[in-house]
Amino acid sequence: MGINFYSKKILKLLGISLFIPFTIFELNTINKQAKAQENLSAASEKDLFLYRQMGASYLCIASKAEVDFNKGLGIASATFANVIIGKHGGVIKDLGNEKLDEKRLYNAATFQIVGSALNICPDSIPKKIKKEYEKKVKEFKKKSKK
């Protein structure tokens, strides 16, 4: 027994009635994503402090778990940069509306995370990294005096 004429109409009607809500749902989802991207706010000093401390905490835990220091620092720095890009569009409040790229955020994160880790777990930071950090701090102080 085949499908009669009325059954085909009913199937088309059901198909259309199921298709329309899914289409509307999909359009609504796309619209929400676009609005979410518009509502990104620049990272405040409070945000940066939180992300920096989380990175430093991760670095301290990773080094105690005998994870290679550079790998741990790389992961912490990449996470910091990705959060700033994802949640704040790469914009930091104190730097104005300039959008920072991932590389610049990564480098800044590396410096800041090492500085925080030196306060949290100084014994976990290799001496070479500590010396490089102190050297950079001195350079920044000289530049800021000019």
Angstrom distance (rounded) from CA 17 to CA 31: 22
Same domain membership, residue 135 and residue 79 = yes
Same domain membership, residue 80 and residue 24 = no
pLDDT, tens digit, for every residue of 5-53? Answer: 556 666 565 555 555 665 566 655 555 554 445 568 999 999 999 999 9
Q: Is the pLDDT of residue 143 over 60?
A: yes
What is Dmax (Cα atoms) for the chain?
92
**What is the pLDDT averaged over residues 1-5?**
53
Confirm if 112 and 136 have CB atoms less than 8 A apart. Answer: no
Residue 82, classified by CB atoms within 10 Å of its CB into exposed (0-12), middle (13-18) or buried (19+), is middle
Average pLDDT of the chain is: 83
- Among 7-21, 41-55, 73-87, 119-133, the range scoring the smallest mean pLDDT is 7-21
Same domain membership, residue 63 and residue 33 = no
Residue 117, H or E segment: helix 102-120
* Distances 8 to 4, 11, 20 between C-alpha atoms, Å: 7, 5, 18
Question: pTM for the full model?
Answer: 0.71
- 5 vs 107, which has greater pLDDT? 107
State residue 3's pLDDT score. Answer: 54
Same domain membership, residue 61 and residue 28 = no
Burial 37-63 (b: 16+ CB within 10 A, else e): eeeeebbeeebbeebbbbbbbbbbebb
Q: Is the pLDDT of residue 58 over 90?
A: yes
- 29 vs 102, which has greater pLDDT? 102
State residue 18's pLDDT score. Answer: 56
Radius of gyration (Cα) for the chain, nearest Å? 25
Same domain membership, residue 121 and residue 64 = yes
State residue 34's pLDDT score. Answer: 46
Same domain membership, residue 55 and residue 27 = no
Same domain membership, residue 87 and residue 139 = yes
